[in-house]
Amino acid sequence: MNQNKLKKKLKAGEKAAACWLFSNSSDAAEVIGGTGFDAVMIDHEHGSGNLTTAVDQHRAVRSVSDMTVLMRVPWNDSVLIKRALDMGVDGIMVPSVNTAAEAQAAVHACRYPPTGIRSAGFGAARAGGYGRTASEYRKNLDKELMIICQIETKEAVGNIEEIAAVEGVDMLFIGPNDLSASINKLGEFDDPEVKAQFEEARDKIIASPASLGCISKGTVETNQLFADGFDFLLCAGDVGLLASAANELLATLKK
C-alpha cells in the first residue's frame, strides 16, 4: 500500500478539503480527480454505485492524479468493509459508530490477523496489485490505511472520548443531519439543542487524538469550520457541483 498523502497531511497539522462522489460516474471521478482536492470520497451509503463502478472511479482518479481515494461503506459490516478495501481504496468511512466496541469492530474488519479479522485475499485482490504488490500492501496497511468513524447520534457524542481512544481510528467525522435526527430535530440546525450537540461533538473531538471531520457547503461555511478547528471537510460533491453550475447558468440567462 502506497503512502497515504491525506493521512500524512493531517498528521502534519494541515487542513484538507475533499469532494464527494455520489454518482457512479467514472467520467465525473476523472474530472474531480484533475482538481486540487486532497481527497475524494466514493459514497456507498447514499450513492448509486456498486463495487464495479467504484473500481472504475478509482481508476479514473488515478489516471489523472495521486489523490487519496476514500469510500464510505454502507454500514459497519466486516464483509462490506473487506470488499471495499480489497478493491484498493486508501481508506474507509464507517457510518453511525456509537460506541468504542463498534469502532473496534470497524478497525478489526480492516486489519489482517493477528490485529484484525479481515480475510487474507491480498494475493489476488486489486488492492495487492493482483498479487504483484501483495507483500508491500500487507506490510504498510496498518500504517497507511485511513479509518474514519462517523459520529451521528447523541449516544455517539457521549462516547467520543472512548471511540477516539481506539487504536487505529484516525478521524471522527460529524454527520450533522443524522445527529439532529437522533434527537428528533432533523435538519433544524439553528435549534439550541441541535447546536449544543454539534458543538459538544466538535469540542470533544478537538480534545481527542483523532482528526476532526465534517461536511460543509460553500466557501464561507468551509472557511469558518476550518477556523473553528475542523481538519477535514467534504465541501462539495460531484452531483451538487453539476446542479449548482447548471442552476447558476440558467438563472443568469433568465436575467
Catalytic residue ranges: 46
CA distance 94 to 76: 6
CA distance 185 to 20: 25
Q: Which three three-digit cell numbers place residue 20? A: 464527494
Tally of CA atoms within 13 A in the half-sphere of 61 that contains its CB: 30
Handedness of CA 92, 98, 103, 106 (dihedral sign): negative
41 Cβ neighbours under 8 A, 6+ residues apart: 18, 19, 20, 21, 70, 71, 72, 93, 234
Radius of gyration of the chain (CA): 18
Closest listed residue to residue 68, CA positions, set 169, 144, 172: 144
The full DSSP string for 88-123 is: T-SEEEES---SHHHHHHHHHHHS-TTS------TT
CA distance 163 to 160: 5
DSSP annotation of 184 reads T
b/e code 152-163 from CB counts within 10 Å (16+ = b): bbbebbbbbeeb
